[in-house]
Amino acid sequence: MKHNPDTYPETSSRVQTIGPFRLAPWFSPRPWGSVDLAPWYPGKREEPIGEAWLTGRDCIVESGCAAGWTLGKLVDELGGEMLLGNGAGSGDFPLLTKLLFPRAKLSVQVHPDDCAAQSAGERCGKTECWYVLSADAGASVALGLLPDVSERDIREAIASHTLERLLDWVPVSAGDMIYVDAGTVHSIGPGVVLLEIQQYSDVTYRLYDYGRPRELHLELGLRALKLKTGAGKVRAERYEGYDRLISKQYFVVERHTLAAGEDRQMQNWGRTAQVLVSLSGSATLKVRGTEPLELLPGRAVVIPAAVAEYSLDVPHGMVCIRAMPPGTVGLD
């Protein structure tokens, strides 16, 4: 999705003190996706949607003084303010957040780590995690290879169209957090809806695609895959007032369950961008000196790095996810 730069609001001092803002999702059609994205997004789609990108560069800012800009445009203009705080430095937005809606199996694929990605000319690799929002009975995901599988076994299985038989299929339920380390051969089965949080990269090497007419990346994928990785389910840690779902090299993800009438104070100790996604209910986010902002299910709210603290006013109860790079946690 492209936008005419002439339609952006003019750059002015207003973006130098930008507060939290909400993003409209950007929808990516995929052959394995669904035309029915309820309850997250109403109405039937004309083509199957596999992913709703919540913090993609093409997502449109729909609130505040930068309304009408894309996230990519905003980051390009305000890298330091968005990412590092105190106006220092520049760079890319740290996390890509998506909702996934598979109604058929995803391809058997692998993402490279930073080293493998950079050797292939990419900026960075793709380590990710999946938080299971809903799951039909019997739903499963593939995480890595069965024991004693060799590279030769993988090549032969790709040639004979039997690769999925070598994968470790893991049953999943709503509330599971799953770590997918770069280099892990993986797939997602139908009947789940996932919130995916990952390094900001879309580098995917498909090894096998069930005969769908899409490009495969066998040699790149075989070079990137690892026979053993740290992928698997992660047990949540309970803290006062929230659950730490996962804490890894590239991201920290928390689940906050807020009661009706609660006014929760949140901190940004590490001073880098944070992402909030409401899973149910709504809240009003408040920062001194900015307009209040409503959190809505299925939309991301970005807390810029320069925002040191904020509050969530919850009228009727809410469950939300907070995702951030490591070192940014903190809650009063």
Yes or no: say if 314 and 264 are a contact pair by the CB < 8 Å rule: yes
Taking the C-alpha atoms of residue 206 and residue 216, their distance in angstroms, rounded to an integer, is: 5
For residue 65, what are the contacts with CB-CB under 8 A and spacing of at least 6? 9, 14, 15, 18, 19
Q: Mapping DSSP to helix (H, G, I), strand (E, B) and coil, where does residue 146 land?
A: coil
How would DSSP label each residue in 252-301? EEEEEEE-TTEEEEEE-TT-S-EEEEEEEE-EEEE-TTS--EEE-BT-EE
Q: Is 206 among the catalytic positions?
A: yes
CA atoms within 13 A on the CB side of 210: 11
Instruction: Out of 57, 206, 299, 322, pick the active-site residue.
Output: 206
The DSSP code sequence of 175-240 is T-EEEE-TT--EEE-SSEEEEEEEES----EEEE-TT-S----HHHHHHH--SS-S-EEE--EEET
Q: Is 248 strand, coil or helix?
A: coil
Per the DSSP assignment, residues forming a β-bridge with 205 are: 110
Instruction: Give the whole-angstrom CA distance, residue 280 versus residue 297.
Output: 6
**How far apart (Å, rounded) are the C-alpha atoms in residues 112 and 99?**
21
Output DSSP code: residue 57. T
Query: Are the beta carbons of 31 and 211 closer than 8 angstroms?
Result: no
| Separation of alpha carbons 174 and 313, rounded Å | 26
Using alpha carbons, select from 61, 60, 90, 70 the residue that is nearest to residue 78. Answer: 90
- Which are the catalytic amino acids? 206
